[in-house]
A and B are shown apart, each in its own frame.
Chain A
Amino acid sequence: MNIGVFVCHCGSNIAGTVDTVAVAKAALAYPEVVFATDTMYACSEPGQAGIIEAVQKYELDGVVVASCTPRMHEATFRRTVERAGLNRYMFEMANIREHVSWIGKDKDANTNKAAELVHIAVEKLRRNTELTAGEFTINKRVMVIGGGVAGIQAALDCADGGLEVVLVEREPSIGGKMSKLDKTFPTVDCSSCILGPRMVDIAQNPNITLYTLSEVESVDGFVGNFDVKVRRKAAYVDWTLCTGCGECAAKCPSKKTPDRFNEFIGKTTAINIPFPQAIPKKASINAAACLMLTKGKCGACVKACPAGAIQFKQEDEIVTEQVGAVIVATGYDLFDFTQYGEYGGGRYPDVITSMQYERLLSASGPTEGHIKRPSDGKEPKDIVFIQCVGSRDKSIGRPYCSGFCCMYTAKQTILTKDHLPESQSYVFYMDIRSPGKGYDEFIRRAMEEYGARYIRGRVSAIQPKNGRYLIKGVNTLMGDQVEIEADLVVLAVGAEAAKGAPQLAEKLRISYDTYGFYMEGHPKLKPVETNTAGIYLAGSCQGPKDIPSSVAQGGAAASKVLGLFSKDKLASDPQVSSVSLQRCIGCAKCQSVCPFGAIEMTQFRGMTKASVIATVCQGCGNCTSACPQGAIQLSHFTDNQILAEVHALCPY
């Protein structure tokens, strides 16, 4: 075997703390290395051309590139060696940037370490075999989980592209957070007016199957062939019969039911349609508040319903959907501010969240768009907005910026002035983050045209005073303490991962960060992909986002799915396990530990032997570890390859 080694400088990223020339020289001493050189940027056009040229000139059979992490450029270089005429799997990378040059200061030690990492890559490559990807057919249906604006966009784009779409939403209606908003920044256009038609499109699109009041129960399978079980929770109403007339809600006696949609400002009935524009416009019963379901007597809705749709005996139903890809658009939830004692910890009725204020502003909200204090229903005059409640605060484990609060706070001050021209808004802020198109101008308008007083500083305490509230804070620009008396305090609560996000991630086998937001495949290059093939992300489930970004991601995720489905067959990763028939004794230990059911026991000339279903095998290698005699080996992570790496690092 002829091996070529290419040691990348990565500009000064590597060459700054690793003697790349010395590493290349050391590499020449490793077995079967016939060519080694250093190169400025291995991934650049001339860098790749250099590799191709060397493959041809030195008749190389395999290539090692020592550069960045394989998560960055392994795919790039595999294509390079393929263009040079080699099998794409006759390639190995040594990670001498993230694992060496960026973390060590001692150049000698780094150089030595880099050379050893090249050595193990060479030893592994020597034992690589040429692999060819197999093919399998794909099911060209897509599931979108989450019916907020990102999920709606993704579902519509996929459906318009001709795909069958299954849209799953946890709440009784799609629409997500955006459906609760009154207006949107920076255009101050009506949220329902732009979202409503899109929601209707979902209901009317023949390619879309909509499951609301439903959650994903389990996910099996792999890219192209997922089996997803969806739990359709009991609505206690037969939706095939319900016409959405609302007669049931009008007659329901349980009128003090907490109103989830209205953020618990105001009350609703036990049977209800959450809001007038709900899609599907179907009633559902809140079992905890329903007199019939809790106490066994009532049935007012049964009498009221002209369609006979009420079914108190309805139970959860599990449906199974076969899809080839999944778009996760589960959004975010709002930070629970009650852990801030200085803001009253939830004890003061007129200290509310920004989303509650949004419902007060909304014409379809509990006050029909009149701003009223929850405590006494009076119109407020002085309103204090406090930003970064649950954002950029390490002490409560929320060090990140939620991104959209500066903007919606400015919007709310503008709307406040529109609603109550005599009112005065005050905004306590840390920094203004307004890096979108027209965003900073919008903030200036709030300040200059609408007279919102912006105070740079934090609030130390909110104290009730004579039926109003005293807000004590600091003005860091003036270096002074500020005290403002206000009628209403609106907390710009930050975004946090949706409840249950980690549990869903585990079902989908995708990863999530410390805060529960899902991890994208690459922070720059794979913003809507995950590391699990066939699963894509859109919207705030990946991190807090405003509406335009969520819509853009919904569209991006849809285009990724359409791209994936543009092929009839997918190539399977050939780095899977295979069984040596000579060595297998049929003990089935591999089968018992395979997480994917990818191993079956077959009869071969009267003997029991294990056999790998290549398209099901995901390449984890658990079987190889379980086989005492080493009869089942994971390609490119064989026992001998790992042993060779150990021997290279520890030559006794």
Chain B
Amino acid sequence: MGSQLEDLKTAIRQALPDLDVVIAWAAGPDGLAHTPLFITSESDVDLVQWDPRCSQNLAGYLPGLRGKKVGIVAKGCDARSITELLQEKLIDREQLTVFGLHCQGALDPEKIAAMADCGRYVRSAEINGGELKIVSSKGACAISLENGLLAKCFRCTGADAQPCDQFIGEHGAPPVLKDAPATTLDRLEAMSMEERFQFWEEQMGQCIRCYACRSACPLCVCQDHCAAQSREPHWVDQTDHPREKLMFQAMHALHTAGRCTECGECERACPVGLPIMTMKQALNRQIKALFDYEAGLDSEKTPPLFQFRENEEHIKERKW
């Protein structure tokens, strides 16, 4: 991995003179997760990091940088978000340079923190072999990387970034992992309708309406025009009630239906850990079943809700 990092740095250095900015990752404050790095001068390149702590999907920054020549470092799943943004013509391909990577899985900082029980302060953390070694105020511990991966890594279908201008390292298949942990969607399926409704009432009761989910979502392109905070139109009111919060989540799910790549940024960003990608996953399943479509694979395709067929093969309409 070390040489992959060096190759990446070399590639960025070479490309930088022609670019306004390159977005990559740098070490974060606590060592458990890396943070975004915006490289504008060659000296910044030394800060670049690449290992499983590069969890964040950087694609969300791209629409805001439209008009600039931007380089971006992308994992396989991040690249699907880039494809979506290209498809919606919210970024320009010719202005964009993608440094693509082969990814063997990214860590879920929340999960690691919970597993390590490392107390409030992490002094240092480093990856060694298949483990993350953490030294914290409580002492030292080591966590197997595989146990700490993000949920989406267990469903990974493409570890190599595509589209890509410069591929760093070797192409390869997604990592072979143990069985995926059960998702909220699986758990919901075992519940009655009443229980599901209660589940969401309880979950949404914890929502603090910070809209981090929206800000992290690379497809929430409406930015400061989000319908959640507008009065024209007035879809959601400001009462502190689970109903309104659930309404917003339904809105987020339906607005991204057929576009969401399940990058998981919404859940990763949620400060209270709500399973808010669940609805999006359900819609994606339906869209796959009805229209045989998956978002983020082909920037030339039209998302299924923006087209139709006169005879929908997989839609069975009710006969009254």
Contact = CB atoms under 8 A, between A and B. Distances in A.
Direct contact, A vs B (beta carbon within 8 Å)? yes
A587 B88 contact: yes
Interface string A217-233: 00000000000000000
Contact of A587 (B89, B227, B230, B232): B89
Interface in B204-237: 221-223, 225-227, 230, 232-235
Contact of B222 (A580, A592, A628): A628
A630 B235 contact: yes
Contacts of B222: 585, 628-629
B302 interface: yes
B116 interface: no
Contacts of B89: 587-588
B255 interface: yes
B141 interface: no
Contacts of B230: 583, 629-630
B225 A585 contact: yes
Contact of B221 (A585, A593, A639): A585
Nearest to B306: A592
Contacts of A652: 243
Interface string A628-640: 1111010000111
A626 B305 CA distance: 9
A629 B227 contact: yes
A638 B235 CA distance: 11
Interface in A589-622: 589, 592-593
A278 to B, nearest CB: 39
A59 B279 CA distance: 50
Nearest to A583: B225
A29 interface: no
Interface residues of A, number: 20
Given A587-B88, A592-B302, A593-B306, A629 B225 contact: yes
Nearest to A587: B88
A643 interface: yes
Contacts of A582: 225
Interface size class of B (residues with CB under 8 A): 20 to 34
Contacts of A631: 225
Given A583-B225, A585-B223, A630 B306 contact: no
Given A583-B225, A585-B225, A629-B227, A643 B234 contact: yes
A502 to B, nearest CB: 14
B142 interface: no
Nearest to A631: B225
A640 B226 contact: no
B221 A640 contact: no
Contacts of B113: none
B255 A639 contact: no
The winner among A589, A592, A628, A631 for most chain B CB atoms within 10 A is: A628
Contacts of A593: 306
A629 B214 CA distance: 13
A631 B222 CA distance: 10
A90 to B, nearest CB: 19
A629 B226 contact: yes
Interface string A569-583: 000000000001011
A593 B88 CA distance: 13
A25 B227 CA distance: 36
A587 B256 CA distance: 13
B88 A643 contact: no
Given A629-B222, A639-B235, A640-B233, A589 B306 contact: yes
Interface in B276-320: 302, 305-307
B243 A633 contact: no
A108 B90 CA distance: 55
Contact of A630 (B88, B221, B227, B243): B227
Nearest to A641: B233
A587 B306 contact: no
B302 A630 contact: no
A580 B226 CA distance: 13
A629 B232 CA distance: 9
A621 to B, nearest CB: 13
B158 to A, nearest CB: 25
30 contacts: A583-B225, A583-B230, A585-B90, A585-B221, A585-B223, A585-B225, A587-B90, A588-B88, A588-B89, A589-B306, A592-B307, A593-B306, A626-B305, A628-B222, A629-B226, A629-B227, A630-B227, A630-B232, A630-B233, A630-B235, A631-B225, A633-B233, A638-B233, A639-B234, A639-B235, A640-B234, A643-B233, A643-B234, A643-B235, A652-B243
Given A630-B235, A639-B234, 8 more contacts: A585-B222, A587-B89, A587-B90, A629-B222, A629-B227, A629-B230, A630-B227, A643-B233
Interface of B: 88-90, 221-223, 225-227, 230, 232-235, 243, 255, 302, 305-307
Interface of A: 580, 582-583, 585, 587-589, 592-593, 626, 628-631, 633, 638-640, 643, 652
Q: Which 4 residue pairs are nearest across A and B when measured between Cβ atoms?
A: A639-B233, A630-B233, A629-B222, A628-B255
